[in-house]
Structure 1
Amino acid sequence: MTHANLNPETQRNHNRRNALHTALLIGGTGLLMGLMAYSVLGVLGLIGAAVFGAIGLASLSRMSPKLILNLYKARPLGDNELPELQQVLRQLAKRADLPAVPQLHYVPSRMLNAFAVGTRQDSAIAVTDGLVRGMTLRQITGILAHETAHIANGDLKVMGLADVLNRITSLMSMIGLIGVPIVFGTGVDIPYVGLFMLIFAPTIGGLLQLGLSRAREYDADLDGVTLTGDPEGLVEALSALENYQRGVWEGMFLPGSRVPQPSLLRTHPKTEDRIARLRALTTGTVAQPASETRLRPDTLRGPHPSLVPHVSNPRIRWARFGIYF
């Protein structure tokens, strides 16, 4: 799907790049699992890995979003709660051709966060109190579009598949390192290449899984702004999240910078890279679309009111021998 406000050629290039990255990373994860299973238990290992994989995927497809939402103490929002967001989410679901509108949930947390769970037929998007209170409606629209794109693209299933494959790889590695010597004795001769694979295969699988997560985030950014036609809204949201995530100690000792984190160990791409890709989408665009084709709700400029009472900062209470809120 393309949008009149975005550069079509840039969109197509991003789509091809993201699809290729996803295919290579999923293929690499599956190949690594197959090599580990065959090297440890031969054909029997391949059959066992296939069975475990099928069971894992079946359990993922049957898992209710409520199980995950309960872990975060999320509760569903009624139609009379945050009606602006409810309306925005209905428009996004319609534009994404989802068979059902995701159920909006609220998480009583001061963190700025949002996440999606479920499938196209049964899904939910959760937003935290900090996100609702600290961002404008335009910024939250960009975030909701990003999460809607995750649901529409089936990213939750893709990441679940990668997680199942990686867990099977780790299981085979453990069997090879612990089970084989126990069964066949300490005198078993393991080639150096095989020993290297047994030790480092779980780490390699984890890095492939992180790479897949970053690729799907790029794809959700692209498809999200395709739904809204407003890349700058998501850019503003990403910038706000980046500023929020700067820790107190980083701001004190490293003003204007952050403790560097290796790109290979990130679940999300660097914010500056995501922003650069988003802004490249509008490069070279001449014609602007009619205002009714864009999803840019600017009616609420300031922060949203909190849905929970204000939480004061922690203070030391010597009489009670502890730190209390």
Structure 2
Amino acid sequence: MLVLVLFGISTLAGNLLFGEAGLWVALAVSLFALIVEPVATSVLTLRMYRARPIHPAEAPDLWALIYELARRAKLESIPKLHYIPSTMINAFATGSRRHSAIALTDGLLHTLTPRELVGVIAHEIAHIANGDLRVMSLADYVSRLTSLMALVAKISILLSLPWLLSGQLNINWWGLLLLVISPQLALLAQLGLSRVRELDADHTAAELTGDPRGLASALARLEQINRSWLAWLLPGWGNPEPSWLRTHPPTGERITRLLALETSAHTPIPNTGSQFSPTSKPIRRPPRWHPGGFWR
């Protein structure tokens, strides 16, 4: 439903800006993004994070875990493991269901316990199995397309000011207002979609591992580590409130849902140590901050 809302906002913006041709252009670009964009984005993302592949001989336990989780998730191909020499604590999946990669930072590998690491990797496998990589990539692309069309509309209005002031040009002001706020509407739909997919990935990860408490423990640990002193002085800092402005559901809600899934259809996966000694030296400089978040 949220994906359809995003498509609707994008095509409506295209129709208001360029007429019927704009509607079909928006649909065509969105379909093109659905087919091509995930693979291209995966390569660029891994390069930006300076990720390198982890050879199976370097971390046999990690690869054994990936194989078992992929088997339980019924994936057609095994995700490729990548290492990011960063002290930030992070993990993410990228690509598509058939051609996927999971990246783990140095900080994550040296901070989480083996049980917590199993939960986090299972969460990323769940994103791949549920098709979230393609869905969220499409949502991001459609949202950016809507923002671009809104920007074109604003520039067109500025260039048309002389004709507007002289009364030689009539404008549908309600349509213009809808076009201007369409990026915000698309962003809210995108954030809502992200939160839904995160909750579904948590649920799938608990089913894959048979140990929802492992992922719950990892989430609690990450929340405690990432909670800065500003968060104590300014509640909501770094995690916008109200909750519909967040990319992820509140950690407390995720943990509560996980702990309610104590029974599982799968046999719990034994805890495994990573036993991974990377040759790349971790990047020790602090991450740079920008309005969109932290970046290396």
TM-score, structure 1 as length reference: 0.78
Q: Please say if 1:275 is aligned against 2:255.
A: yes
Q: In structure 1, the residue corresponding to 2:178 is in which secondary structure? A: helix
Which residue of the partner structure matches residue 189 of structure 1? 170
Q: Would you say the 8 A contact 2:85–2:282 is kept in 1?
A: no
| Structure 2 CA distance for partners of 1:180 and 1:249, relative to 1, 3 Å | closer
Q: In structure 1, the residue corresponding to 2:74 is in which secondary structure? A: coil
- Percent identity for Structure 1 against Structure 2: 42
RMSD (CA atoms) = 2.6
Q: In structure 2, the residue corresponding to 1:126 is in which secondary structure? A: strand
Unaligned runs of 5+ in 2: 287-296
Which residue of the partner structure matches residue 37 of structure 1? 14
Which residue of the partner structure matches residue 205 of structure 2? 224
Q: Would you say the 8 A contact 2:87–2:284 is kept in 1?
A: no
d(CA) in 2 for partners of 1:218, 1:151: 14
Moved more, 258-267 or 106-115: 258-267
Q: From 185, 198, 221, give the equivalent of 1:204.
A: 185
**Moved runs in structure 1, 4+ residues, more than 6 A?**
303-306, 310-314
Q: Would you say the 8 A contact 1:135–1:304 is kept in 2?
A: no
Which residue of the partner structure matches residue 240 of structure 2? 261
Which residue of the partner structure matches residue 129 of structure 2? 152
Rg larger in structure = 1
- Displacement of 1:43 in angstroms is 0.8
Q: In structure 2, the residue corresponding to 1:63 is in which secondary structure? A: helix
- Displacement of 1:305 in angstroms is 7.3
Q: From 147, 172, 178, give the equivalent of 1:170.
A: 147
- Displacement of 1:133 in angstroms is 0.4
TM-score, structure 2 as length reference: 0.85
Q: In structure 2, the residue corresponding to 1:269 is in which secondary structure? A: coil
The one-character-per-residue Cα deviations of 1:219-254 (angstroms, maximum 9, x if unpaired) are: 111111110011000000000110111114446x57
d(CA) in 2 for partners of 1:61, 1:117: 8
Q: Would you say the 8 A contact 1:246–1:258 is kept in 2?
A: no
Q: Which amino acid aligns with 1:90?
A: Y
Which residue of the partner structure matches residue 40 of structure 2? 63
| Structure 2 CA distance for partners of 1:168 and 1:313, relative to 1, 3 Å | closer
d(CA) in 2 for partners of 1:75, 1:203: 36
- Displacement of 1:313 in angstroms is 8.4
d(CA) in 2 for partners of 1:311, 1:48: 43
Q: Would you say the 8 A contact 2:118–2:214 is kept in 1?
A: yes
Q: Which amino acid aligns with 2:176?
A: L
Q: Would you say the 8 A contact 1:111–1:130 is kept in 2?
A: yes
Q: Which amino acid aligns with 1:191?
A: N
Which residue of the partner structure matches residue 137 of structure 1? 114
Q: Would you say the 8 A contact 1:238–1:275 is kept in 2?
A: yes
Q: Which amino acid aligns with 1:97?
A: K
d(CA) in 1 for partners of 2:284, 2:123: 31
d(CA) in 2 for partners of 1:226, 1:276: 15
The one-character-per-residue Cα deviations of 1:174-228 (angstroms, maximum 9, x if unpaired) are: 2322225636933433334223212211111111111111111111111111100
Which residue of the partner structure matches residue 239 of structure 1? 220
Q: Please say if 1:213 is aligned against 2:194.
A: yes
- How many residues are paired up? 279
